[in-house]
Amino acid sequence: MSHRPLASTLVWVATSLLVVFFFGQSLAPSASLYTHMLSPHTVDLIGSIPKVILPGLTVLVAWGVARKFEPGNPARLAWSLFAVGMFGLFVGQVVLLYYIFVGRGDVFPSIGDPFFVAGCVGVVVALVAFVRAYATSGFPIGPRRQLWAIGLAAAALGALLVVPLLRPVMAAPAPAVEKALNLAYPALDFLMFIPAVLLAWITLRFRGGKVALVWTALLAGILFTAAGDILFGYFSNLGQKGLAALIDAVYILAYGCLAASVFHQRELLAA
Amino acid sequence: MAVGPRKDSAAVFAVIESVLLPYVGRTMASTAAAAHCRRLGIEGARFDGSQIGQLLGKLSMGLVILLGEAKTRSVVSSIQSAIDALEDAP
């Protein structure tokens, strides 16, 4: 069956509308749309429901994509691992949505956190599997030594970016579990960053093609997830409540990019 | 031993590039076939059927990782048809 690009287009449109909505709230929190026309609970739901639907769709479509690759194909393993990782993020978001539904607002730490951590680990492993799959494709993606150099440079750059951002989080007075999680998420993002940079480098060689579209969306999703995690660390540990709408916008953008990437891959596989 | 009619290698590369272009972009489309030829030790101004078969086999092995088996079959079949339609090289 052929998949027209309708699904990926819908994901991009829905994501864009939601991102504009929450960027608007972060810029003008007292606008009547957010204070009178919609209740705070409704705004919370508008922020939370897409964060469940988008990863949920990503899991289903990524799993379907993985099944379309024949057994033994390294892409099948990579897409399966990606689906499993995204499942962790999906379950974590379901837990957070439950808290919103019962009126408890943002709960942190919560029972969702082990799922988020496991999900992030799954995504890191999937990204490494994607790099390995590319490396076995035989396409001229660059000498192995060059890829190692880029990986090491990415590790150094990631450390330079993440360590200063984490200093205020480490210094802030917060319960141990909360602080550990606020350090764990950016640390996992750092681990994601290294294979993501390698994939970005490889993707540059495919620029202009449909393959690059899949990878650009996926890597943008990883980047925005990392940005969301760092913002969330500031939000929860440093009490910067004004960041809530921006965090919603960034996470929705991240999940939208990840969902769009799997839909683009499904379209690419359609014979 | 040469198998089947010979085709001009530049024309073969041009066909492969034009079919792969929408999927892998210009850079990869224009370099992939030449890179595979280097690895396979295929060179010269003309390719015979066996060399073209080896080259398409190698391309298929990479494409299945990006496009899956069904789409790869269809892409490689398009390349093969376009190569078959090329004039035979002297």
Interface of B with A in 16-35 (CB under 8 A): 20-29, 31-32, 35
pLDDT in tens, A174-230: 788 888 888 888 888 888 889 999 999 999 999 999 999 999 999 999 999 988 887
Look at strands B46-47 and B7-8 and give their pairing: antiparallel
DSSP structure class, residue A34: I
Q: Return all residues near A66 (Cβ < 8 A) that are at least 6 apart.
A: A75, A76, A77, A78, A79, A80, A82, A83
- DSSP for A92-124? HHHHHHHHHHTT----SS-TTHHHHHHHHHHHH
pLDDT in tens, A4-24: 688 999 999 999 999 999 999
The pLDDT of residue B21: 95
DSSP structure class, residue A137: T
pLDDT in tens, A33-90: 998 999 988 998 999 999 999 999 999 999 999 999 999 999 999 999 999 999 999 9
Contact A133 B21 (CB under 8 A): no
Contact A140 B64 (CB under 8 A): no
User: Which residues in chain B touch residue A137, judged by CB atoms under 8 angstroms apart?
Assistant: 61-63, 65-66
Contact (CB, 8 A) for B5 and B84 = no
Contact (CB, 8 A) for B56 and B77 = no
User: Which residues in chain B touch residue A206, judged by CB atoms under 8 angstroms apart?
Assistant: 24-25, 27-28
Q: Which among A199, A211, A261 is the top mutation candidate for probing chain B, defined by the most B β-carbons within 10 Å of its own β-carbon?
A: A211
pTM, two decimals, is 0.89
Q: pLDDT band for A142, please (50, 70, 90 cuts).
A: confident
Q: Return all residues near A211 (Cβ < 8 A) that are at least 6 apart.
A: A203, A268, B23, B24, B25, B66
Residue B51 has pLDDT above 60, yes or no: yes
Facing A68 at nearest CB: one of B63, B65, B68: B68
What is the spatial distance between Cα A189 and Cα A221, in angstroms, rounded to a whole number? Answer: 12
Q: Which among B38, B59, B65, B72 is the top mutation candidate for probing chain A, defined by the most A β-carbons within 10 Å of its own β-carbon?
A: B65
pLDDT in tens, B3-25: 667 889 999 999 999 999 999 99
- DSSP for B26-85? HHHHHHHHHHHHHHHT--SSEE-HHHHHHHHHHHHHHHHHHHHHHHHHHHHHHHHHHHHT
Contact (CB, 8 A) for A47 and A252 = yes
Contact A140 B68 (CB under 8 A): no
Contact (CB, 8 A) for A23 and A249 = yes
User: Which residues in chain B touch residue A211, judged by CB atoms under 8 angstroms apart?
Assistant: 23-25, 66
Q: Is B66 on the interface with A (CB under 8 A)?
A: yes
The residue type at A157: L
Interface of A with B (CB under 8 A): 68-70, 73-75, 133-134, 136-140, 205-212, 268-271
Facing B28 at nearest CB: one of A139, A269, A270: A139
Contact A268 B31 (CB under 8 A): no
